[in-house]
Amino acid sequence: MKYDLNQKITRGAQRTLSAFTQSMFTLLAKESFEKIKVNELCELSNFPRATFYNYFQDKYDLLNYCWHVLADQIDVAELTSLNHEEIPIQFFDRAYDLLSENKVIFDQIMAHNDVDGTLINSFSSYMKTVTRDYLTQYFKQTASNLPIELLVNHFSNTILMLIEWIFLTNHPVTKEQGHQYLRALLGNL
C-alpha cells in the first residue's frame, strides 16, 4: 500500500479508494484474478493508470486492501462477553456472519477462481492475520504447557478451515452445526 491509511483520508482519496475496491469486486465476479489487468481496473473506475499506482503497488496490493475493507465489518463490536471458553465460538460466529452477508459475492468469485489459486490464498492469508491478532489478545493470560503461538495458530487455523469449508467449498451448514464441529475439533483445549 503506497497510500498511508493512518493519515486523515481526504474526500478525493476516499472516492478513489472506493472506486478501485468496487471495481475489483465487480471484476472478480466476472473473471479470474489472474486475468484482471490494471488497465481494466482503471477503465472501470475511470481513473488513469498513474492514479492507481499512486495508491497501490500492484493489483495484489489492491486485493489485500479489499479484504481489509471487507473484514472491517468484523471488528466493529470488538468487546462482547469474556467467557474464556467461548472466544473461538464467538469469533467463528462473526466470521460466519461476515461470509453469510457476502455470500452472493463470494459465490460469484468462487465461480471464476480456483480454491487453491492466488485469490483464495490471499483471502485466507488476510483472515489468518486478523484471526490471530484477535485470539492472541485473549490467550495471553492462558496457562498452558504449549507455546501460546502454537495454540493461537491452531485455533485460528481450525476456525478458518471450517469457515472456508462451509462457504468457499459450498458445504451448507448452520451456525449451530458449525459450533458442534468446532467443539469436536477443539474439544480438548
Binding site for DNA (CB under 7 A): 3, 8-13, 15-16, 37-39, 46-51, 53-55, 57-59
**Among a second copy, DNA, none, what binds residue 145 when CB lies within 5 to 8 Å by partner kind?**
a second copy
Cβ at position 120, least distance to DNA in Å: 19
> At 185, which amino acid appears?
L
- Contact indicator for 160, 180 with CB cutoff of 8 Å: no
| Residue in 29, 30, 32 with CA at minimum distance from that of residue 116 | 32
Whole-number Å distance between alpha carbons of 165 and 118: 17
**Among DNA, a second copy, none, what binds residue 55 when CB lies within 5 to 8 Å by partner kind?**
DNA
Buried-state track 121-137, b at ≥16 Cβ within 10 A, e below 16: ebbbebbeebbbebbbe
Nearer to DNA, 2 or 84 (CB): 2
Nearer to a second copy, 5 or 146 (CB): 146
* Cell numbers found for residue 157: 487455523
Cβ at position 121, least distance to a second copy in Å: 5
Enumerate binding residues for a second copy (CB under 8 A). Answer: 116, 121, 125, 129, 145-147, 149-150, 153-154, 157-158, 161-162, 165, 171, 181, 184-185, 187-189
Nearer to DNA, 13 or 105 (CB): 13
**Among DNA, a second copy, none, what binds residue 125 when CB lies within 5 to 8 Å by partner kind?**
a second copy
**Among DNA, a second copy, none, what binds residue 69 when CB lies within 5 to 8 Å by partner kind?**
none
- Contact indicator for 111, 119 with CB cutoff of 8 Å: no
**Among a second copy, DNA, none, what binds residue 47 when CB lies within 5 to 8 Å by partner kind?**
DNA
Cβ at position 181, least distance to DNA in Å: 39
Cβ at position 119, least distance to DNA in Å: 14
